[in-house]
């Protein structure tokens, strides 16, 4: 007996959503090709009139269009493409307006940002910095905050990235003048001097800088390996150009400094993936000053972002209430709440344990599931939603499951697992819209 899909609204199940498999080429949305004809002409008319910088915001607007018989909460009338262009431009200008105020209203900014941030004019870079609390809301304090933080980062670099040789040299140069004497000797036995604090390269002492250096070098090798493997398809990160190398070095420095400052979690594979979009956005800021200091800014924002998620990287916390296991079961609960049939089919009938797919989704903040531009849009929502990134992430994951429910319900263990582990390309704005809808239905 077919169970009535009570909890899933009909519009969600309409064939419009599930049959479309838009081929998203980064970074444009121009190649969308959803099947129902009514969308084609809208897309066709929309595309030529779009400038690339507003397509992203456009997509989040134009796709909120269910069949006419359904809910009317979708307000915007988009029969004329010009109306939607106006929409996007207006949203961009709203954002710009908000950002240009002397004291920025974070709530207002969150509201605007959660609809999607346009790619233009470094808006995303500034917005993310505000949302992560790196930039204060009072614009007058920006320059002092920034210079303070940047010099702090510079000190970190100097202190933590030095070899032991350099450290000992610095200590000596400040301590004695023996070197000067030696140079002038033409011939003779070289004078032996005492070593400070028993510091020598083969020292096995716990406090020895050499010993720590060798222990850290394992982590540094790991970081090196991961940095090289980050986003191999994107020119920014990989390749032989000096630019890519410089970016990789920046990523490497940030991760090393983070690992040294946080002996509790050090470096765990995957942190590089979370770092990458942040650095990309900040480095590509058209504002010269920001782009040059992207490394320092990214470091602090990375720390901020990771503070929400660091519990997932700590193995001891796996089984605790804040750990990854309990979060995954929370996702499971959320799915059950919103779509019991799917939940039952996935967990009980086909026995697809959510750990198999959700682990990567959650710990890496979905960076491995979608292409790069989509990741940026998802992160817009993750960072701006007032309930916080952890909760929003769960909702997006739940939305991901609901969107492919037709295929999941039809599939068995292997098919479902395969589908979820390589999630098919999908319309991001729709995904985010569905995730947002889950907000309001969460009391059900």
Whole-number Å distance between alpha carbons of 330 and 328: 5
For residues 191 and 242, which CB has a smaller minimum distance to another protein in the complex? 191
Look at residues 397, 416, 431, 415 and name the one whose alpha carbon lies nearest to residue 17: 431
For residues 64 and 171, which CB has a smaller minimum distance to another protein in the complex? 171
For residues 140 and 187, which CB has a smaller minimum distance to another protein in the complex? 187
Contacts with another protein by CB under 8 A: the residue count is: 29
8 Å CB contact between 139 and 117: no
Look at residues 120, 117, 64, 122 and name the one whose alpha carbon lies nearest to residue 91: 117
Task: Find the shortest distance in angstroms from Cβ 138 to another protein.
Answer: 45
Count of beta carbons in the 10 Å neighbourhood of residue 173: 10
Residue 221 makes contact with another protein by CB under 8 A: no
Task: Find the shortest distance in angstroms from Cβ 255 to another protein.
Answer: 21
Task: Find the shortest distance in angstroms from Cβ 161 to another protein.
Answer: 13
Distance of CA 245 to the CA centre of its chain: 21
Collect contacts of 215-222 with beta carbons under 8 A, ≥24 apart.
216/256, 216/259, 216/260, 219/256, 219/259, 219/266, 219/267, 220/256, 222/267, 222/269
Applying CB under 8 A, the span of 50-58, 121-129, 163-171, 351-359 interacting with another protein comes to: 163-171
Q: Which residues pair with 138 in a beta bridge?
A: 103
Task: Find the shortest distance in angstroms from Cβ 215 to another protein.
Answer: 10
For residues 166 and 289, which CB has a smaller minimum distance to another protein in the complex? 166
For residues 191 and 348, which CB has a smaller minimum distance to another protein in the complex? 191
Task: Find the shortest distance in angstroms from Cβ 171 to another protein.
Answer: 12
- From 13, 14, 137, 214, residue interacting with another protein (rule: CB under 8 A): 214
Whole-number Å distance between alpha carbons of 273 and 364: 7
For residues 182 and 333, which CB has a smaller minimum distance to another protein in the complex? 182
Q: Which residues pair with 103 in a beta bridge?
A: 138
- From 165, 307, 315, 329, residue interacting with another protein (rule: CB under 8 A): 165
- From 101, 163, 245, 351, residue interacting with another protein (rule: CB under 8 A): 163
Residues composing the chain: 444
> Biggest alpha carbon distance in the chain?
100
Binding residues for another protein restricted to 172-211, rule: CB under 8 A: 172, 178-179, 182-183, 185-195, 198, 200-204
Whole-number Å distance between alpha carbons of 12 and 403: 8
For residues 140 and 194, which CB has a smaller minimum distance to another protein in the complex? 194
Helix or strand or coil: residue 424? coil
Contact residues toward another protein (CB under 8 A) are 163-166, 168-169, 172, 178-179, 182-183, 185-195, 198, 200-204, 214
């Amino acid at each position: 007996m077919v169970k009535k899909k009570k909890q899933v609204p009909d519009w969600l199940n309409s064939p419009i959503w599930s049959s479309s498999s838009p081929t998203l080429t980064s970074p444009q949305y121009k190649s969308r090709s959803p099947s129902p004809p009514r969308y084609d002409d809208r897309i066709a008319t929309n595309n030529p009139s779009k400038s690339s910088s507003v397509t992203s915001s456009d997509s989040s607007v134009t796709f909120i269009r269910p069949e006419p018989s359904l809910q009317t909460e979708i307000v915007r009338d988009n029969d004329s493409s010009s109306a939607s262009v106006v929409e996007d431009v207006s949203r961009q200008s709203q954002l710009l307006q908000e950002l240009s105020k002397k004291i920025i209203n974070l709530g207002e900014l969150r509201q605007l940002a959660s609809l999607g941030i346009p790619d233009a004019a470094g808006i995303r870079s500034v917005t993310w910095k505000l949302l992560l609390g790196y930039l204060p809301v009072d614009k007058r304090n920006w320059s002092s905050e920034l210079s303070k933080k940047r010099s702090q980062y510079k000190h970190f670099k100097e202190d933590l990235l030095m070899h032991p040789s350099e450290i000992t040299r610095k200590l000596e140069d400040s301590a004695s003048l023996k070197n000067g004497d030696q140079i002038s000797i033409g011939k003779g036995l070289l004078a032996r001097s005492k070593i400070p604090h028993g510091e020598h390269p083969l020292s096995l002492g716990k406090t020895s800088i050499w010993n720590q250096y060798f222990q850290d070098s394992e982590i540094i090798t790991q970081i090196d390996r991961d940095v090289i493997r980050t986003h191999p398809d994107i020119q920014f990160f990989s390749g032989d150009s000096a630019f890519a190398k410089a970016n990789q070095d920046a990523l490497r420095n940030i991760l090393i400094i983070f690992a040294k400052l946080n002996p509790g979690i050090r470096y765990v594979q995957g942190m590089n993936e979370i770092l990458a979009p942040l650095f990309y956005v900040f480095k590509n800021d058209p504002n010269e000053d920001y782009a040059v200091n992207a490394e320092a800014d990214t470091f602090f924002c990375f720390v901020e972002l990771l503070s929400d998620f660091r519990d997932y990287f700590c193995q001891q916390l796996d089984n605790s209430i804040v750990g990854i296991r309990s979060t995954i079961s929370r996702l499971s609960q959320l799915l059950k709440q919103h779509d019991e049939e799917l939940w039952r089919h996935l967990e009980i009938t086909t026995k697809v344990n959510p750990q198999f797919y959700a682990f990567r989704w959650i710990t890496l903040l979905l960076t491995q599931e979608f292409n790069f531009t989509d990741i940026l849009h998802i992160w817009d929502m993750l960072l701006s939603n007032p309930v916080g990134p952890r909760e929003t992430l769960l909702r997006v994951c739940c939305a991901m499951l609901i969107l492919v429910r037709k295929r999941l319900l039809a599939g068995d263990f292997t098919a479902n697992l395969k589908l979820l582990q390589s999630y098919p390309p999908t319309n991001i704005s729709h995904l985010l819209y569905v995730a947002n809808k889950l907000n309001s239905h969460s009391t059900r």
